Structure 1
């Protein structure tokens, strides 16, 4: 159930509500939530034949390392049998688009955002040299200014043929002030290669707990007595899910390894 009011409210026993005060309707969770059971507030099971554009947008190309091959090309998006296939492919026609590779990704920017709660995504990651699938979150609004002041939550990043994922937070505090160990801003976790895994976080006003297959793997706490930029995670964030290719961190792409896919089964958000 949802309530759509111009201010915070209660949802039939839930300490959360959907508010239209913000430019984008966002689900805001109130305090003392730990005393209640989780309630599903938003999901997509990808059961249709086309992407639900009330929830998602195909990520356009951008100048960042992760986004330079993003495309809306249908060849990078397949919905079949209840799965979304986000593909990284060799560009079949560089006369129209000079980029050597094309990649698919979706985000909920402008359509869905939430502040605190639990999000889980069930997905299978295929491997390739230069493959960089990611599930992550960015702030819906510029509460504190330009990136990275509003923070970034990387629920999962996978590189090449690794048997681990990276789970990380980024912010002005970690990137500009170089405070990556006070507290540690990221960790790694083992995954089941070539199988479905459930990636997620449990996000509250004082910490972000990272998860894989229901197991807690790393916690990023809010710390007192440090620069306030350490905790920009007090505002609504939206979701990004993308099959990235190439970049400084992951390295060069081997075209012979393509196509490569991230196969998404479902996305669920609880408060």
Structure 2
């Protein structure tokens, strides 16, 4: 009998060890601050094989009172589905009676439906170009552990402007935005990419560093450092994902309606822990 108890205990221990994270509130995938392993296991994905958004995973981003969210809309014309891909569009608004905004844009986020703390995320997508186009793949804190923005930080896995052949990969926080600490350590980097092709934009997130990637290759690392204001590292809480085809803003400039519509074509999203 003792032999069988031992075997059962071993099976339970092995099973527990293989669980990459614990799930809180039914949708937050949390790992401990001690996690270091790179033996990633897939915990969440979307291949966009259905002819509509999976509302168990995503919500269409509503209008926001910020540069990036001025034209966000749930209008079906801002979303398309074909060949297992999601098309997020920036378009000229043809019905300014119902909605006076000159442009409409499509975006989705996992807020309230999926968030994770530490792990690896990859998004395969193709970016079209236009004057004023600002597609972005980024992350914000789910629980706002440290108060109002920018206290909880922002992780920009990818941003692209206009017709550039580079992407921006960036971190924002109270430390970088309010305390202006942008070189200790450097808070962003640009990397060349082939905008005519699909690319895989990624992040490996550890308790002590954010490692940004492009097509599986490391491009930029933002480390947690000692001896500075604690607001330098708000990245110890679950974040949710945003994917959106933005238009206009102080950074990207005005849109040219002759360049529209413009699209970000998303093939898949995968998250590992």
TM-score normalized with structure 1 length = 0.93
After TM superposition, list the pairs within 5 Å mapping 1:38-117 onto structure 2: 38-117=40-119
After TM superposition, list the pairs within 5 Å mapping 1:157-172 onto structure 2: 157-172=159-174
Mapped pair 1:250 → 2:252: yes
Mapped pair 1:149 → 2:151: yes
Q: Secondary structure of the equivalent of 1:252?
A: coil
Structure 1 runs not aligned, ≥5 long: 1-8
* CA distance in structure 2 between the partners assigned to 1:82 and 1:198 by the alignment: 16
**1:199 maps to which residue?**
201
The number of equivalent residue pairs is 261
Q: Secondary structure of the equivalent of 2:136?
A: strand
* CA distance in structure 2 between the partners assigned to 1:50 and 1:262 by the alignment: 16
Normalized per residue, which structure has more helix? 2
* CA distance in structure 1 between the partners assigned to 2:18 and 2:203 by the alignment: 19
* CA distance in structure 2 between the partners assigned to 1:185 and 1:216 by the alignment: 15
Give the direction of change, closer, same or farther, for the CA distance of 1:11–1:234 in structure 2 (3 Å limit): farther
The 8 Å contact of residues 10 and 16 in structure 1, kept in 2 or not, is answered as: no
Structure 2 runs not aligned, ≥5 long: 1-12
The 8 Å contact of residues 139 and 156 in structure 2, kept in 1 or not, is answered as: yes
* CA distance in structure 1 between the partners assigned to 2:271 and 2:96 by the alignment: 39
* CA distance in structure 2 between the partners assigned to 1:11 and 1:159 by the alignment: 46
TM-score normalized with structure 2 length = 0.92
* Larger Rg, first or second structure (1 or 2): 2
Mapped pair 1:189 → 2:196: no
Match of 1:13 among 10, 17, 39: 17
**Cα offset, 1:193, TM superposition:** 1.2
Give the direction of change, closer, same or farther, for the CA distance of 1:89–1:144 in structure 2 (3 Å limit): same
Q: Which runs of 4+ in 1 moved over 6 A?
A: none
Give the direction of change, closer, same or farther, for the CA distance of 1:24–1:181 in structure 2 (3 Å limit): farther
